[in-house]
């Protein structure tokens, strides 16, 4: 079973490139959703079907990351009629380059980490680091608030991959807690998005940089 | 010896047929009958029977373009193994020669286009050069990955059954490289998402615009070497795309020819269902190909 992890993680890293390279809001959200859903199923591949709680957790995570949260985001872009991320601070090609370079560095860096013997040479750490970097890039270089929310979402995916290393030690409650955190965060961001929209009738965060009496 | 002869015969005779198959596929998609399968051969014969007209502003550079282009394609055809058969010429490091033969062909064709002094052809040359430089890393990264897999640096060893042992471990990299090379294949051969081989609209042409001043036999040579480039790069791509291969030598030739024809049908399908990319998006697609290829290599090297 464990041999399937690496091909799946490669798929996850490909979604990172999609996220960095596309300007279509819809594609961005769907890629993040697909990435999240695939990742939620990953523990089952690593451990095998070990008891009902693993299956229940995976099912909950897939529903939340693959359907509920992306659904909320899709609704948000429908409401405000955003189709494209226009003119991010760092262009799509440069951010694709940065992502590729970051992935390379992640692989190099993972080679020098003192990992448990069973994780040496696996893709878990590189995939995690490159997904974190992708999330960070999306968060910092995109102007639309929704892109930044997606960035946060991807960042959490990266943390989740890192959690795979601790799968034996990670208690059920902690994972549920992380999921809940994510849910609450996206919920709060949704409210903030609504406020930004009401105030400026746009979701461009550049407008937030100006002070007004 | 016999197989060497088959290699040369296929290399010399098959390329225009691929163009015919692409044409037929596109016609079938559009609900037309389309030109006969052998039309590209008739076109070549017609062009070779014509006289040549050379503009008085051109020099020997203009005439060297088609000749060097054809020679480069022919030489590259000697280096690439077709199917599971050994290539006629093989030595360590022939990969680099293979890649730069095409670069040389591109250089002479763009130089010939610039030699005409037409601003229009200069524009095409600029586009061809910039897209070519973006496509090259994708090809090279993929070749490096294959060299790493085979532990050898000659095309013959690298392309001999890359899908062999350990499919699960090398599968992701090979899929990435296949995807990346498919993009490069379409871009290098000026096929549709990148360049429309049929259009004569000035602003959208890349390759076609460079050869406007060539006529008669020179133009025929250019068409023929373009077809041969399609054939050679297709043979390269086929090794990565399909793990299939016959055990019997003659079965293997049949598998190879069937694979090439299928590839031509696939190009026809892509050209029928896709629209042309906006010119500004072309570099992005090519950089994506490079990133995919580099990522595939990274997975193997780490």
Instruction: Give the model's pLDDT for residue A2.
Output: 52
Confidence of residue B98 (pLDDT cuts 50, 70, 90): very high
Chain A residues near residue B176 by CB distance under 8 angstroms? 10, 14
Residue B156: closest CA among B100, B98, B87: B87
Are residues B172 and A6, on separate chains, in Cβ contact within 8 Å? yes
B291 Cβ contact partners less than 8 Å away, ≥ 6 residues apart? A17, A96, A97, A99, A100
Confidence of residue A1 (pLDDT cuts 50, 70, 90): very low
Are residues A100 and B288, on separate chains, in Cβ contact within 8 Å? no
Both tokens assigned to B34: 């389309």
- Of residues A10, A99, A111, nearest to B172 (C-beta): A10
Q: Is pLDDT above 60 for A49? A: no
B87 phi and psi angles, rounded to 5 deg: -75, 150
Both tokens assigned to B296: 């595939």
How far is Cα A74 from Cα A94, in angstroms, rounded to an integer? 26
Quick one: which H or E segment has residue A163?
helix A145-163
Q: Is pLDDT above 70 for A48? A: no
Sign of CA dihedral A89, A92, A97, A103: positive
Residue A91: closest CA among B232, B7, B287: B287
Q: Which residues pair with A24 in a beta bridge?
A: A84
Confidence of residue B201 (pLDDT cuts 50, 70, 90): low
3-class state of residue A15 by DSSP: helix
For residue range B232-285, what is the model confidence (pLDDT) as tens digits? 999 999 888 877 666 778 888 888 899 999 999 999 999 888 888 888 788 888
Q: Is B295 an interface residue toward A (CB < 8 Å)?
A: yes
A56 Cβ contact partners less than 8 Å away, ≥ 6 residues apart? none
How far is Cα A129 from Cα B302, in angstroms, rounded to an integer? 15
Q: Using CB atoms within 10 A of its CB, is residue B104 exposed (0-12), middle (13-18) or buried (19+)? A: middle
Instruction: Give the model's pLDDT for residue B277.
Output: 81
Question: What mean pLDDT do residues B80-99 have?
Answer: 87
Question: What mean pLDDT do residues A22-31 have?
Answer: 87
The rounded mean pLDDT for chain B is 86
Q: Is B285 an interface residue toward A (CB < 8 Å)?
A: no
- Of residues A3, A96, A123, nearest to B291 (C-beta): A96
Question: What mean pLDDT do residues B108-119 have?
Answer: 89
Question: What mean pLDDT do residues A81-97 have?
Answer: 81
3-class state of residue B37 by DSSP: coil
Is B223 in contact with B47 (CB distance < 8 Å)?
yes
The model's pTM: 0.81
For residue range A164-189, what is the model confidence (pLDDT) as tens digits? 777 666 666 667 777 777 777 777 77
CA angle B178, B179, B182 (to 5 degrees): 85
Q: Is pLDDT above 70 for B143? A: yes
Q: Is B302 an interface residue toward A (CB < 8 Å)?
A: yes
3-class state of residue B214 by DSSP: coil
Are residues A100 and B299, on separate chains, in Cβ contact within 8 Å? no
- Mean pLDDT check: name the lowest of A82-91, A169-178, B209-218: A169-178
Is A157 in contact with A40 (CB distance < 8 Å)?
no
Per-domain boundaries in chain A: 2-209
Q: Is pLDDT above 50 for B179? A: yes
Mutation target to probe the B interface, by most B beta carbons within 10 A, among A2, A4, A13 is A13
Proportion of chain B above pLDDT 90, given as a percent: 37
Q: Look up residue A84 and give its DSSP letter.
A: B
| Angle, in degrees to the nearest 10, between helices B167-188 and B216-241 | 170
Residue A157: closest CA among A26, A4, A41: A41
Is B73 in contact with B221 (CB distance < 8 Å)?
no
Q: Is B277 an interface residue toward A (CB < 8 Å)?
A: no
């Amino acid at each position: 079973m464990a041999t399937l992890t690496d091909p799946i993680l490669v798929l996850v890293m490909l979604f990172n490139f999609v996220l960095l390279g596309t300007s279509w809001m819809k594609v961005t959200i769907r890629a993040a959703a697909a990435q999240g859903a695939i990742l939620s199923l990953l523990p089952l591949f690593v451990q095998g079907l070990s008891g009902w709680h693993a299956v229940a957790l995976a099912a909950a995570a897939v529903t939340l990351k693959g359907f509920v949260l992306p659904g909320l985001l899709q609704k948000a872009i429908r409401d405000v009629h955003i189709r494209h991320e226009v003119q991010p601070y760092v262009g799509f090609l440069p951010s694709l380059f940065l992502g590729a370079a970051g992935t390379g560095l992640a692989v190099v860096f993972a080679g020098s980490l003192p990992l448990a013997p069973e994780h040496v040479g696996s893709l878990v750490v590189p995939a995690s680091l490159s997904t974190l970097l992708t999330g960070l890039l999306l968060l910092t270089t995109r102007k639309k608030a929704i892109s930044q929310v997606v960035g946060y979402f991807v960042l959490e995916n990266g943390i989740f991959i890192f959690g795979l290393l601790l799968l034996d030690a990670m208690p059920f409650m902690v994972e549920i807690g992380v999921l809940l955190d994510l849910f609450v965060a996206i919920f709060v961001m949704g409210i903030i998005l609504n406020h930004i929209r009401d105030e400026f009738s746009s979701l461009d965060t550049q407008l937030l940089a100006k002070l007004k009496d | 010896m016999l197989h060497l002869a088959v290699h040369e015969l296929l290399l010399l005779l098959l390329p225009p047929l691929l163009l015919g198959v692409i044409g037929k596929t596109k016609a079938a998609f559009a609900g037309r009958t389309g030109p006969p399968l052998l039309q590209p051969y008739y076109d070549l014969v017609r062009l070779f029977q014509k006289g040549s007209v050379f503009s008085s502003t051109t020099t020997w550079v203009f005439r060297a373009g088609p000749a060097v282009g054809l020679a480069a394609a022919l030489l590259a055809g000697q280096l690439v193994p077709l199917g599971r058969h050994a290539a006629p010429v093989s030595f360590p490091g022939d990969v680099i020669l293979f890649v730069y033969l095409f670069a040389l062909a591109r250089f002479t064709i763009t130089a010939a286009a610039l030699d005409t002094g037409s601003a229009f052809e200069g524009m095409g040359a600029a586009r061809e050069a910039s897209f070519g430089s973006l496509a090259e890393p994708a090809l090279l990264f993929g070749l490096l990955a294959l060299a790493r897999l085979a532990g050898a640096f000659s095309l013959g060893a690298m392309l001999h059954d890359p899908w062999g042992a350990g499919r699960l471990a090398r599968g992701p990299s090979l899929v990435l490289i296949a995807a990346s090379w498919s993009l490069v294949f379409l871009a290098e051969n000026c096929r549709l998402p990148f360049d429309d081989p049929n259009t004569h609209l000035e602003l959208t042409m890349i390759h076609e615009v460079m050869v406007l001043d060539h006529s008669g036999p020179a133009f025929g040579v250019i068409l023929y070497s373009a077809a041969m480039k399609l054939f050679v790069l297709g043979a390269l791509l086929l090794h990565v795309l399909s793990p299939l291969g016959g055990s019997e030598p003659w079965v293997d030739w049949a598998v190879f020819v069937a694979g090439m024809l299928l590839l031509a049908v696939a190009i026809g399908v892509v050209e029928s269902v896709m629209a042309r990319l906006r010119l500004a998006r072309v570099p992005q697609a090519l950089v994506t190909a490079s990133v995919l290829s580099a990522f595939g290599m990274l997975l193997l090297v780490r």
